[in-house]
């Protein structure tokens, strides 16, 4: 659910169901017809309701898209956090998150080209769902760093800041615009792997003073 | 000069002078009127020549823009290489390049907003001048890494790959699209500094085996 919802009064069960139906129908149309070509009237027709009824729930097509992207990103975030909280050694978790971020981005943006346009629109419009996603991944990395520090395998750096930095080193294989501009996406798995190993070197504890 | 030139026969001194005049005039118009609003006819009028004469040198407005951006990036690259080849300790050179990349990007893209649009167009169109710039900066970082290895202060990693990785960690404060989407550009100097220190930790030599 998007940040914007927190300002509205709570919805009844029936209203929530309608809202979910609008989101599900819009997502199907965006994926098949494309985001730009789908109108609110198209969505209303599919749902056998009036456009005015849709506008009771969402002020614009862009707001529907925000709800859809928010849902996708929440799933994405949950997969990253499942790794971050997992039983593997902290270094393995860092490697796994790098791999997941890289693979999911390619899957999302290349195999589902229309989805790419939706998320790219989200980035250009600075939606709260995007900020929330970025902070959630920063925090997942920070969590692994803190765990590694507790186990004595990572250096005692600022865990929160280090989480942000780790996430920033992934930008070239997670940001839709950069992935789109990348001319050799088959290099991305190798680069993600190399970057993870490079970052793990930075996390090594300092040698004890002689 | 752009890659495209290498396919053409060498230009006479007079032709080179005309070409330079076209580039200089176009750059002035792009900076004052904006890239989108300036036409080839505007450039021709300023130079008191026919548009046909301009097309003898450049097939399109976009090709003129490529030559301008190429010139700016070549200057930018030279400044980075001056640091890379400089007398400072290798770690200091890495810090200085991170600082320069971050400061130059902000200067270019914010204080010269119209320039930003020109470079953003270049990125979207995958111009050879952009690739060349990226490789030149990768190589400058690789050069510093190799120097640090020769001095025994950096770990014996693959210098070329490490140069690419160092440059990739800078993407968030050097890529015009990301800088544009960044909501807190006043954080960028701090992030660039923190990222440089993080990367320098990765470059530390391994502790000798006990």
Which residues on chain A are in Cβ contact (under 8 Å) with B178?
A: 171, 175, 177-178
Are both B173 and B79 inside the same structural domain? yes
Q: What is the C-alpha to C-alpha distance for residues A26 and A36, in angstroms, rounded to an integer?
A: 12
pLDDT of residue A7: 52
The predicted model gives B131-141 an average pLDDT of 94
Are both B53 and B68 inside the same structural domain? no
Instruction: For tokens 């007079």, name the residue.
Output: B14
| CB A189, CB A98: distance < 8 Å | no
- Examine the fold and report which residue of A44, A59, A74 is the final residue of a domain before the chain moves on: A59
Q: Establish if A209 belongs to a structural domain.
A: no
Which residues on chain B are in Cβ contact (under 8 Å) with A191?
A: 164-165, 168
The predicted model gives B143-155 an average pLDDT of 97
Average pLDDT score over chain B: 87
From the list B134, B140, B136, the residue with the least C-alpha distance to B168 is B134
Q: Establish if B114 belongs to a structural domain.
A: yes
pLDDT of residue B113: 64
Q: Taking 90 as the threshold, does the pLDDT of residue B181 lie above it?
A: no
pLDDT of residue A91: 98
Q: Establish if B210 belongs to a structural domain.
A: no
Q: Taking 90 as the threshold, does the pLDDT of residue B3 lie above it?
A: no
Q: Nearest by CB to B194, from A161, A195, A199: name it.
A: A161
Q: Establish if B52 belongs to a structural domain.
A: yes
B204 CB within 8 Å of a chain A CB = yes
Q: What is the C-alpha to C-alpha distance for residues B106 and B28, in angstroms, rounded to an integer?
A: 20
- Examine the fold and report which residue of A19, A41, A59 is the final residue of a domain before the chain moves on: A59
Q: Establish if A107 belongs to a structural domain.
A: yes
Mutation to test the A interface, candidates B141, B201, B206, B207, most A Cβ within 10 Å: B201
- From residue B138, how far is each of A40, A98, B84, B166 by CA, in Å? 47, 22, 11, 8
Total domains in chain A come to 2
Q: Nearest by CB to A168, from B165, B195, B207: name it.
A: B195
Are both B148 and B101 inside the same structural domain? yes
Are both B36 and B84 inside the same structural domain? no
| CB A205, CB A131: distance < 8 Å | no
H-run or E-run covering B104: helix B90-106
Range of A43's domain? 3-59
B199 CB within 8 Å of a chain A CB = yes
The verdict on a CB contact (< 8 Å) between B123 and A181 is: yes
- From residue A31, how far is each of A68, A115, A116 by CA, in Å? 11, 7, 10
Q: Nearest by CB to B169, from A169, A201, A207: name it.
A: A169
Are both B110 and B191 inside the same structural domain? yes
* CATH classification at residue A146: 1.10.357.10
Mutation to test the A interface, candidates B102, B194, B200, B208, most A Cβ within 10 Å: B194
Q: Taking 60 as the threshold, does the pLDDT of residue B2 lie above it?
A: no
| CB A55, CB A40: distance < 8 Å | yes
**A52: its two tokens:** 């005015």
Are both B55 and B74 inside the same structural domain? no
Are both A109 and A198 inside the same structural domain? yes
The predicted model gives B118-126 an average pLDDT of 72
Q: What is the C-alpha to C-alpha distance for residues B130 and A118, in angstroms, rounded to an integer?
A: 27
> With bands split at pLDDT 50, 70 and 90, how would you rate the model's confidence at B109?
low
pLDDT of residue B1: 45
Which residues on chain B are in Cβ contact (under 8 Å) with A168?
A: 169, 171-172, 191, 195
pTM: 0.85
Give the number of C-alpha atoms closer than 13 A to the C-alpha of residue A194, restricted to the C-beta side: 19
Distance from B165 to chain A by nearest Cα, in Å? 6
Q: What are the CB-based long-range contacts (under 8 Å, 24+) for B49-58?
A: B53/B18, B54/B22, B57/B15, B57/B18, B57/B19, B57/B22, B58/B22
| CB B105, CB B130: distance < 8 Å | no
* Chain pair A-B, CB pairs under 8 angstroms: 68
Q: Taking 80 as the threshold, does the pLDDT of residue B198 lie above it?
A: yes
The verdict on a CB contact (< 8 Å) between B126 and A202 is: no
> With bands split at pLDDT 50, 70 and 90, how would you rate the model's confidence at B5?
very low
Are both B122 and B159 inside the same structural domain? yes
Are both B86 and B56 inside the same structural domain? no
Q: What is the C-alpha to C-alpha distance for residues A182 and A194, in angstroms, rounded to an integer?
A: 17
The predicted model gives B76-82 an average pLDDT of 95
pLDDT of residue A2: 46
Which residues on chain A are in Cβ contact (under 8 Å) with B197?
A: none
Q: What is the C-alpha to C-alpha distance for residues A117 and A34, in angstroms, rounded to an integer?
A: 8
Using a pLDDT cut of 90, give the percent of chain B over it: 55
Distance from A141 to chain B by nearest Cα, in Å? 15
Q: Establish if A54 belongs to a structural domain.
A: yes
Q: Nearest by CB to A165, from B123, B155, B195: name it.
A: B195
Q: What is the C-alpha to C-alpha distance for residues A158 and A138, in angstroms, rounded to an integer?
A: 13
pLDDT of residue B129: 83
Q: Establish if A115 belongs to a structural domain.
A: yes
Distance from A182 to chain B by nearest Cα, in Å? 9
Q: Angle at CA B107, nearest 5°, toward B103 and B110?
A: 125
pLDDT of residue B66: 87
Distance from A41 to chain B by nearest Cα, in Å? 31
Helices and strands (H and E) in chain B: how many: 11, 0
Mutation to test the B interface, candidates A194, A200, A206, A208, most B Cβ within 10 Å: A194
| CB A102, CB A188: distance < 8 Å | yes
Give the largest CA-CA distance in chain B.
Answer: 76
* CATH classification at residue A13: 1.10.10.60
| pLDDT single digits (tens) B87-99 | 999 999 999 999 9
Write the burial class of residue B31 (CB in 10 Å: 0-12 exposed, 13-18 middle, 19+ buried): middle
pLDDT of residue A23: 94
- From residue A162, how far is each of A119, A203, B185 by CA, in Å? 26, 9, 19
Q: Establish if A208 belongs to a structural domain.
A: no
The residues, any chain, with a CB within 8 Å of residue A194's CB and separated by 6 or more, are B161, B165
| CB B162, CB B141: distance < 8 Å | yes
Are both B9 and B73 inside the same structural domain? no
Q: Nearest by CB to B201, from A161, A177, A202: name it.
A: A202
> Considering only residues 159 to 188 of chain A, which have any Cβ-Cβ distance to chain B shorter than 8 Å?
161-162, 164-165, 168-169, 171-172, 175, 177-178, 181, 183
pLDDT tens digits for chain A (210 residues)?
444 444 556 778 888 899 999 999 999 998 888 888 899 999 999 999 999 999 999 999 989 988 888 888 888 899 999 999 999 999 999 999 999 999 988 777 666 666 766 776 777 777 788 889 999 999 999 999 999 999 999 999 999 999 999 999 999 888 877 877 777 778 889 999 999 999 999 999 987 765
- From residue B110, how far is each of B34, B105, B175 by CA, in Å? 14, 8, 12
Are both A147 and A188 inside the same structural domain? yes
Q: Taking 70 as the threshold, does the pLDDT of residue B8 lie above it?
A: no
Are both B94 and B146 inside the same structural domain? yes
């Amino acid at each position: 659910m998007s940040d914007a919802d927190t300002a509205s009064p709570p919805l009844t069960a029936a209203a929530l169901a309608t809202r979910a139906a609008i989101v599900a129908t819009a997502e199907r149309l965006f994926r098949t017809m494309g985001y730009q070509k789908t109108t609110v009237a198209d969505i209303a027709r599919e749902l056998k309701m009036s456009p005015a009824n849709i506008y009771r729930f969402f002020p614009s097509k862009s707001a529907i898209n925000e709800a859809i992207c928010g849902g996708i990103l929440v799933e994405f975030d949950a997969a990253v956090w499942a790794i971050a909280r997992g039983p593997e050694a902290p270094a393995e978790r860092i490697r796994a998150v790098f791999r997941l971020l890289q693979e999911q981005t390619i899957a999302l943006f290349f195999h589902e080209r229309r989805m790419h346009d939706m998320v790219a629109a989200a980035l250009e419009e600075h939606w709260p769902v995007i900020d929330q996603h970025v902070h959630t991944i920063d925090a997942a990395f920070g969590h692994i760093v803190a765990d590694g520090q507790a186990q004595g395998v990572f250096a005692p750096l600022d865990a929160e800041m280090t989480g942000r930095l780790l996430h920033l080193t992934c930008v070239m294989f997670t940001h839709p615009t950069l992935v789109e501009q990348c001319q050799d996406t088959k290099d991305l798995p190798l680069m993600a792997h190399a970057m993870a190993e490079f970052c793990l070197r930075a996390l090594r504890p300092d040698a004890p003073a002689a």
